[in-house]
Structure formats: structure tokens, C-alpha cells
Structure 1
Amino acid sequence: MNEIQNASSRKRWLRIIPIAFITYSLAYLDRSNFGSAVAGGMGDSLHITTAVTSMLSALFFFGYFFFQIPGAIYAQKRSAKKLVFISLIVWGVLASATGIVNNVRYLYVIRFLLGIVESAVMPAMLIFLSNWFTKSERSKANSFLILGNPVTIMWMSIVSGYLLEHVGWKNMFIIEGIPPIIWAFIWLAVIQDKPSQAKWLTHSEKQELEGILQEEQKDIVPVKNYAAAFKKPKVIALAMQYFFWSIGVYGFVMWLPSIIKNGSKFGITSTGWLSALPYLFATVMMLVTSYFSDKTMKRKVFIWVPLLIGAVCFYLSYQFGATNFWLSYALLCVAGGVMYAPYGSFFAFITELLPKNVAGVATALINGMGALGSFVGAYFVGYLNGATGSPSASFFFMAASLVVSVVLMCVVRKNSEKKQQNPVLVGVHTVK
């Protein structure tokens, strides 16, 4: 890497990644604090059953499915910056509104609307990062973005436990809905959609970066339009793979506090601390995995291997968790960490399979299927826990879902298409 690239890289990592990380992390306040609120008394206060709680958890992800593709199209053709700004404000208002309702019917509406508002953020942020980071940087950049998920859940589990104990679930929601609104104006002031708009890059740095990004597109097989991309077997397989992966992830995220509280009989503050540890492990695993994924450019192995380990851990929890809480908890810590580990590699893999004109919207389709998987995971895990009186059946369900995702990831072919009569790997020739 020459001197110009080094200077540009340092500036981009210092200016873009912290802002992206904080922005995306705020989205997880109102996703995951709902599970803590349920374990901390919201269900009792509003007299809602386990089945209703499951539906409220799942409705967020059902709404999250709807605006993925329109949001990605707007972000790609117009402005990710403006879309994220509006989303931050609206989801902050809705998150705080959760704390002022007294009827479960309004919660149905709020959770669904929250999903719709936040559905545009993930594809918009991935499109935004693809404008700023090269292929060899992308897995790590994506991982730092998505680290907002486990890091937020980690500290939120502790803070929310404290707030639940001292100010109650209503005030917890109101307080935790304010930061996104404030942050929206910081985002608007400091972020630019593309390098060409950045005053803090020199002309040479802009040219160098844009040249690299354009050069990377030359080895990718062209795809005419969105419809053609959606029909590709690779895109369909990855969408289904992410669906089953998300069942495991969000069955885990939404119900971990309740599983720990019911299995250990600890108070809500202790439950919050125990709920945080799997996400500390997830943070470490995401950083390590993305580093080696970018270093070796072997994307697939850093996706399916961690997911397979997660499936094994869930299965062992199914076998032994009912009789040994601490063994089950240790296995859940490992499962949570390895389920998060592949995110950076996975979304980098998509951008290396498809050209820039369709990659962002294809990512939105895949992420949308992940939202449906999250819906199934959040609802069905809660249903199994309530119907059986134990998390054992849900552990088996999440293990089976991860096994299916592993199989689908392994069958995505690398080199079935041709460009100019020469076989290439779809995306970039170094993708494994």
C-alpha cells in the first residue's frame, strides 16, 4: 500500500467507523431491551401471556422485512445519509413511546412500526460502507458496524437491568429512546455519502480510493438489473441461509434473559450481568474472524464453521441443560459468540459475488429474509419455552436451524459463471 493509500485508510477508519458503529449500535437498544423488559415485569404489568410476548417480540422483525428493498434503492440511488438521519429520529420517538402505553394493543402497533423504520438502516449502512472501504478492508469494516449489535446488547443488558430495578420498565424505554434522536443530528453534521464529498480527503486520496473501488468491479460478472440478481441461485441460497441463521440468532437474543432468569432464579440485575457475557465473547469472535477473513480472503470457511460450532453448542444445551444450569450457560456463551462471528465475512461475501449496481439491493433482499427468520426465531422459541416449560426444545430447534444454514452456505458455488470465456469466481477471484 503506497503512502496515499495509507493516509486515506487511516483517515477513513478514524472518521467513518466510530460514527457508523455508534449509529448502528443505537438500533439495538429497542430491539434487545424488550426482552429485558419482559423478564423485568412488563408482562406482569400489562397482563400479557407468553404467547402474546412472543408475538410482540416477533412483530418487530415482521415489520423489519417490509422496507428493506425500497430503503436500499433509496440509499443507493439517492442518499444513505438522509435515510439514516430520518430513521434515527423516528425510531427514537417510537422506542420512547413504548414506555408510555398502557394497553398491549398499542404495543403491537409500535413494535411493527419500529421494525419498518429500522428495516432501511442495515442495507443503507452496508451500501454506505461499500462506498468507503475496499475489498481487503470490507469484512473488518462490516464487523465494526455490526459490532454495534453484541456490544450494545452487552452493556444494555447491564444498564437495562439497573434501570428496570430502580426506575421500572416504562422509564427504561423512555430513557433509552432519547439517544438516537440526539445522535441523528451528529450523524447529519459529520457524514458524507461518498469520498468525493469529503473535505477531509485530498484530491489525490479521493482519486486513489475511487480508482481502487472501480478496479474491483472489473472482475465481477455483470448483472443487468435487480430482477436478474434476485433470480440468481446464489442469491436465493444466501437468502435462505440467512433466514435459518437468523432463527438461531434472534431466538437467542430475544429470549436469553428469560432463559437465564428462569433457569437460575437470579434477580433481574444478576440476570443482566449474565446476559451480557455471551456478547463480550461475540465481540471478540467478530474481530478475530473478520481479521483472518480479510487476511486470507477465504470468506466461506469463516461463515459456516462458526455456525456449525453454534449448532453443536445448542444441541449440547438440549442434551444437558435441563440438569446443569452452568454447563448450559457456558454452552450458550459459546453459541452466542460463534453465531455473531461470521457477520462481517458474510456481508463482504455478498458484495464480492455481485456488481455494485445490484449488490446493495440484493443484500437488502437477503437481510429481509433474515428478518423473517428473526420473526420465526423470536416467536417460535418463545412458544416452545412456554409450551414445554423449559428451553430444551428451543435449543434443539435453534441447533437444527443453524445446521440448515451451514448446509446452504456450503452449497453456494464459487465459479459456475464465466466472463469472457474464462472461469472466474463470481465476485472476486480470491473469494473462497
Structure 2
Amino acid sequence: MLRPLPQIRWYRIIPIAFITYSLAYLDRANFGFAAAGGMNEDLHISKATTSLLSSLFFLGYFFFQIPGAHYASHKSAKKLIFVSLILWGSLAAATGMVSNVPSLIVIRFMLGVVESAVMPSMLILLSQWFTKEERSRANTFLILGNPVTVLWMSVLSGYLIESLGWRWMFIIQGVPGIIWAFVWWKMIAETPREATWLSEEEKVAIEQRLQKEQESIKPVKNYGQAFRSKAVILLCVHYFLWSLGVYGFVMWLPSIIKSRQDMDIITTGWLSAVPYILAIVGMFGASYYSDKTQNRKLFIWPFLLIAAVSFVGAYAMKGEFFWLSYALLVLAGGALYAPYGPFFALLTELLPKNVVGGAIGLVNSMGALGSFVGAYLVGYLNGLTGSFYASYILLAFAVLVASLLTLVVSKPRQLG
């Protein structure tokens, strides 16, 4: 009979992971508010350059995913995240001190580089603490830092820009990352074996349960075999398209709202926050029932389909009914976020421990590339057409294809 697992894990690991990922996400999402709140005018940034700057973060993020994930998996996720926290907090604060576009280009790219290992490192760390039956919920609590951060950041950024300007917004929101690095180092335990707050019996219970799970996964010799598998290839394409939709939405939502006449930056902040309230509810619901049923795909593709239909509906409005169009964007935003927990739980259940770190890095790097393409293409289409409507069709198409790809991803026993 298997020993019960200690519930204290949820209180000692999840809050620290949540806050850490929240700080990381803060530094990538506030750029859209700065662009809408005076930065473009102060630095004489064109619409085309804004698109490049919005997407450069993800280009840096793309290139360093796999090396970071490999280090986290085979060395130490704790050390890697500690260094990343200090570096990204410093770079984020430095964004508020730039005086020209070339400096901003370098900082945006480097921000992506130093943050690139955080997501896969966190997923690897959680996989060392939580079992298959818990993993979707654990991942959701981590990724919840994404919509929760955008929720409060949307409101706070509007007030900071209004009262202090965009420069101080970056500085104030960057410094906490540096401080938190030392809290992270003190509070987090990388594995159950290192946790001083667990008894020896509790450590053994967790390790035995996780080891038993590995026995049911088909062995994979190396990264090459893992990366060539049908499941991993499909998930790479899937996450590329999904991320294109997510970050095309996230990076440009403030500008979409601000484009309405007589819309001030504070109101823009409040309205930009609403989709993330729905996202939080959807993420909790999807992760709970995904763990309960152990059917990951059922809690991925329907949400992405809803998002695609919502984007098409927003396109059909053509700006004639702002509030109805806005309601559809709220629905799209909530639906885009809901499946994250089940998706990353599915990924960790496809591959054995020796290669799962690299696979997470590969899939996440393709997501970063999709984010780069999405942020850039939405800005490009907006500048080319003079409106946001063409970009709605782009986002709808990308997310619709991602939804359909979910249905053909192989189950773990079919890997190879």
C-alpha cells in the first residue's frame, strides 16, 4: 500500500514558485503599457520598431531554452533561477533608464535570454515534488502567475504611468526581482531529499511514488530519439501556434483598447485586466478536472476552439460595437490561458525523466518563437492596415489549428 503524500508540499513549494514566475512575467508584459503610455513618443519609436521591440524578448527566449532546461534537469534549477532573478530584475529596471532605441533593443533581447530557463526549470522542479495525479494543478498554480500578474500589473501600470511616467514604472517593477532572488534561495528546496521540513518517511514516500511513475513510461535513450518522436513534434507545432495567439493578444490588448477615442491610460489598465479574471477561473477549473479524469486533451482543445471563434467574432464587429467586441476579447483571453496546466502535465507524462527536461525546453522554445512571431506580426498588420481587425483573423487561425493538433497528439504508450 502506498504511503500518503504530505500536504505541506503545497504550502512550502507552490507559493514560492508562483511569486517567482509572477515576477518573471511582470517584466515581459508591462512593455505593452509603456508603448501605449508615452514611451514611443519620448524615444521616437515607429510602429514597425514597436513591433520589433515587443517581439525581441521572445527571440532571446527562444535561443536559450534547451541549454537552460538541460542544466536545470541535470544540475540545479534552484541555482539557475537565482541567477536569472537578479539579472532580469536588473535589466527590467534598466529599461526605465534607456535614452535611445539601440539600448532598448539590447535590453529586450537580453531579458529574453535570462528569463528563458525559468519556465522549464520550474516545471522540472515541480515534477520532482508532485505526482501525475497532482501535476496539472501544481503546474496551474505556477502558470497562474501569468494571468494574475497581468491582472494587477494592468491596473498598477496605468496608475504608475499616469503619476510617475513609464520610466519609473519599469524601475519600480524591476527591483522586486532582485530582492526576491535571495528569498528564493533561502526558502526553496529543489528535491524532497533536501527539504528540512519533511520527515525521512515523507521523503521516501514522495520519492517512491515518483519512481513508480517512471516505470510506466517507455524508455527513451537520448534527446535525439525524444525530439524525433511524433508526440514531441506535434506539441512543438501546437505550442508555437498557441503562443502566437496568446502573445499577439497580450502584447497588443492595451493598444487595442487605448485606440478607442477618449480612452485614458488608467481606464485602459482596468479594462485590460478583465480577461485575466476569467483566465484564473478557467485555469483552476481545467486543471482540477484534468487531474480528476486524467484526460489532458479534453481540457485543452475546446478552450482553444472557443478562443478562435471569439477572435472571429471580434473581427466581425469591425469596431462598430466596441463593448461587444471587447467582451469577445475577454472571452478569448480567458480561454487562451485555461489549458496551460493540462498541457504541461501531458508533456511531462510523455517522456521519461532523463529526457523530459530537454523536451520541455524544446517545446517551450517553439512557444517562444511563436510568441515572437505573434507579437511582431500583429504589430506589423496593425501598422499595414491601420487597424487591429486583420490581426484577429491571424490569431483565430493560429489558435484553431493548435486546437485541432491537440486531437492527434499520441498517448504516452504510443511514443516512438
Pick one of 103, 112, 130 that aligns with 1:106. 103
Is residue 285 from structure 1 mapped to residue 276 from structure 2 by the alignment? no
Contact 1:220 1:426 (C-alpha < 8 Å) held by counterparts: no
Pick one of 201, 223, 227 that aligns with 1:226. 223
Residue 159 of structure 2 corresponds to which residue in structure 1? 162
Identity of aligned residues (%): 62
- In structure 1, list runs of 5 or more residues that go unmatched: 416-423, 428-432
Residue 318 of structure 1 corresponds to which residue in structure 2? 315
Contact 1:251 1:378 (C-alpha < 8 Å) held by counterparts: yes
Q: In 2, Cα distance between the equivalents of 1:319 and 1:181? A: 45
Deviations for 1:193-247, whole angstroms, at most 9, x for unmatched residues?
A: 1001111011111111100000011111110011110111110110000000001
Pick one of 339, 342, 350 that aligns with 1:345. 342
Secondary structure of residue in 1 paired with 2:259: helix
Residue 235 of structure 2 corresponds to which residue in structure 1? 238
Residue 49 of structure 2 corresponds to which residue in structure 1? 52
Q: In 1, Cα distance between the equivalents of 2:107 and 2:310? A: 34
Deviations for 1:348-378, whole angstroms, at most 9, x for unmatched residues?
A: 0011111111112101100000000000000
Is residue 211 from structure 1 mapped to residue 208 from structure 2 by the alignment? yes
Pick one of 399, 404, 407 that aligns with 1:410. 407
Residue identity in the other structure for 2:192: P
Deviation at 1:406, TM superposition (A): 1.3
Q: In 1, Cα distance between the equivalents of 2:290 and 2:372? A: 29
Residue 420 of structure 1 corresponds to which residue in structure 2? none
Residue 187 of structure 2 corresponds to which residue in structure 1? 190
Deviation at 1:411, TM superposition (A): 1.4
Change (3 A) 1:264 1:303: farther
Residue 5 of structure 1 corresponds to which residue in structure 2? 4
Deviation at 1:414, TM superposition (A): 2.1
Deviation at 1:250, TM superposition (A): 0.1
Secondary structure of residue in 2 paired with 1:411: coil
Deviation at 1:265, TM superposition (A): 3.4
Residue 298 of structure 1 corresponds to which residue in structure 2? 295
Count of aligned pairs between the two proteins: 416
Pick one of 20, 24, 36 that aligns with 1:23. 20
Change (3 A) 1:264 1:347: farther
Secondary structure of residue in 1 paired with 2:37: helix
Q: In 1, Cα distance between the equivalents of 2:108 and 2:42? A: 18
Secondary structure of residue in 2 paired with 1:102: coil
Secondary structure of residue in 2 paired with 1:266: coil
Is residue 68 from structure 1 mapped to residue 65 from structure 2 by the alignment? yes
Q: In 1, Cα distance between the equivalents of 2:101 and 2:65? A: 27
Residue identity in the other structure for 1:59: L
Deviations for 1:133-161, whole angstroms, at most 9, x for unmatched residues?
A: 00000000000000000000000000010
Deviations for 1:297-343, whole angstroms, at most 9, x for unmatched residues?
A: 11001111100110000011011142111011000001000100000
Residue identity in the other structure for 1:315: V
Deviation at 1:47, TM superposition (A): 0.6
Deviation at 1:397, TM superposition (A): 0.5
Q: In 2, Cα distance between the equivalents of 1:197 and 1:264? A: 56
Is residue 179 from structure 1 mapped to residue 176 from structure 2 by the alignment? yes
Pick one of 249, 257, 260 that aligns with 2:257. 260
Residue 376 of structure 1 corresponds to which residue in structure 2? 373
Is residue 202 from structure 1 mapped to residue 196 from structure 2 by the alignment? no
Secondary structure of residue in 2 paired with 1:344: helix
Residue identity in the other structure for 2:98: V
Q: In 1, Cα distance between the equivalents of 2:85 and 2:344? A: 22
Contact 2:230 2:415 (C-alpha < 8 Å) held by counterparts: no
Deviation at 1:425, TM superposition (A): 5.2
Contact 2:231 2:415 (C-alpha < 8 Å) held by counterparts: no
Q: In 1, Cα distance between the equivalents of 2:74 and 2:320? A: 55
Segment drifting more, 312-321 vs 149-158 = 312-321
Residue identity in the other structure for 2:4: Q
Residue 421 of structure 1 corresponds to which residue in structure 2? none
Residue identity in the other structure for 1:88: L
Residue identity in the other structure for 1:138: R
Contact 1:264 1:325 (C-alpha < 8 Å) held by counterparts: no
Normalising by structure 2, report the TM-score. 0.98
Change (3 A) 1:138 1:264: farther
Residue identity in the other structure for 1:374: S
Deviation at 1:263, TM superposition (A): 2.8
Residue identity in the other structure for 2:108: R
Contact 1:238 1:366 (C-alpha < 8 Å) held by counterparts: yes
Residue 304 of structure 2 corresponds to which residue in structure 1? 307
Deviation at 1:264, TM superposition (A): 5.1
Deviation at 1:110, TM superposition (A): 0.2
Segment drifting more, 321-330 vs 89-98 = 321-330
Q: In 1, Cα distance between the equivalents of 2:267 and 2:219? A: 53
Residue identity in the other structure for 1:399: A
Secondary structure of residue in 1 paired with 2:398: helix
Residue 356 of structure 1 corresponds to which residue in structure 2? 353
Contact 1:81 1:188 (C-alpha < 8 Å) held by counterparts: yes
Q: In 1, Cα distance between the equivalents of 2:79 and 2:137? A: 25
Segment drifting more, 15-24 vs 256-265 = 256-265
Q: In 1, Cα distance between the equivalents of 2:309 and 2:318? A: 13
Normalising by structure 1, report the TM-score. 0.95
Pick one of 74, 79, 83 that aligns with 2:80. 83
Contact 1:254 1:378 (C-alpha < 8 Å) held by counterparts: yes
Q: In 2, Cα distance between the equivalents of 1:107 and 1:194? A: 38
Residue 113 of structure 2 corresponds to which residue in structure 1? 116
Deviations for 1:7-55, whole angstroms, at most 9, x for unmatched residues?
A: x1x2100000000000000011111100000000100111111110000
Contact 1:146 1:343 (C-alpha < 8 Å) held by counterparts: yes
Residue 386 of structure 2 corresponds to which residue in structure 1? 389
Is residue 129 from structure 1 mapped to residue 135 from structure 2 by the alignment? no
